[in-house]
Amino acid sequence: EAGVVQSPRYKIIEKKQPVAFWCNPISGHNTLYWYLQNLGQGPELLIRYENEEAVDDSQLPKDRFSAERLKGVDSTLKIQPAELGDSAVYLCASSLSLVTNEQFFGPGTRLTVL
Amino acid sequence: AQSVTQPDIHITVSEGASLELRCNYSYGATPYLFWYVQSPGQGLQLLLKYFSGDTLVQGIKGFEAEFKRSQSSFNLRKPSVHWSDAAEYFCAVGAQAGTALIFGKGTTLSVSS
């Protein structure tokens, strides 16, 4: 069974530039999460989707961050414009929410903003 | 509010020695508890989980954890550490299925020869 796929794995951009991250969850997992992991910290939720609906986006900085999950499968997280403080690892996870809260994580995208 | 505390930022253990990583949580109801491991440049891999039932749970790679409700703890143990166990370990707590996990800040494990 394929795991959670994320791309790109690494991204380096200049501040004020836009950037996008892509996530493909495990097949059949209806819940998708985007987490932010700063250096030396545990992951923190940015947004959670149930199918195509964003059910928890309270921690998403909506002035510069946006996300979508078209057709309830793949998801894209965008930052525009990026700031120096956005340098972090962006993790995508998925779960089969009707069963357990066991979440499966992708390898993450490491963003560096210069 | 839900929270997870991992008191030890960094632990060094000799190869072959036993290991215990501490985790304390704050949660209003019976929590779902998890331990994840993260190697450099990698995502998080689930080691084990507790939902209900037997309070001693077995996981992958020879790890186990014990849920102690009275102490609000979920400590991770391994009887004999291998050099490949060097990594970052995260304890997490969650509510019912489909909700976000709350993570601790992690414990970095180094293994000396």
- Quick one: pLDDT at residue A55? 92
* Residues A97, A80: Cα–Cα separation, whole Å: 31
Kindly list the residues from chain A whose CB atom is less than 8 angstroms away from the CB atom of residue B8: none
Query: A45 vs B101: CB contact, 8 Å cut-off?
Result: yes
Taking CA atoms, what residue in A is nearest to B31? A101
- Quick one: pLDDT at residue B95? 79
**pLDDT above 70 for A98:** no
Q: Are A103 and A93 spatial neighbours (Cβ–Cβ below 8 Å)?
A: yes
**pLDDT above 90 for B111:** yes
Q: Which two tokens stand for residue B1?
A: 């509010």
* DSSP sequence for B27-67: -SSPPEEEEEEE-TT--EEEEEEE-SS-SEEE-GGG-EEEE
Kindly list the residues from chain B whose CB atom is less than 8 angstroms away from the CB atom of residue A102: 34, 46, 49
Taking CA atoms, what residue in B is nearest to A30? B98
| Closest CA of chain B from A18, distance in Å | 23
- Quick one: pLDDT at residue A112? 97
* Residues A3, A13: Cα–Cα separation, whole Å: 27
Amino acid at A41: Q
**pLDDT above 90 for B90:** yes
A-to-B residue pairs, Cβ atoms closer than 8 angstroms: 67
- Pick the residue of B30, B42, B44, B90 with the most A CBs within 10 A to test the interface with A by mutation: B44
pLDDT, average across residues A70-81: 94
pLDDT, average across residues B51-66: 93
- Quick one: pLDDT at residue A1? 66
Average pLDDT, chain A: 93
- Quick one: pLDDT at residue A97? 64
Taking CA atoms, what residue in B is nearest to A95? B98
pLDDT, average across residues A14-18: 97
- Residue A99 pLDDT grade (very low, low, confident, very high; cuts 50, 70, 90): low
| Closest CA of chain B from A52, distance in Å | 14
Judged by a CB distance cut-off of 8 A, whether residue B43 touches chain A is yes
- Residue B51 pLDDT grade (very low, low, confident, very high; cuts 50, 70, 90): confident
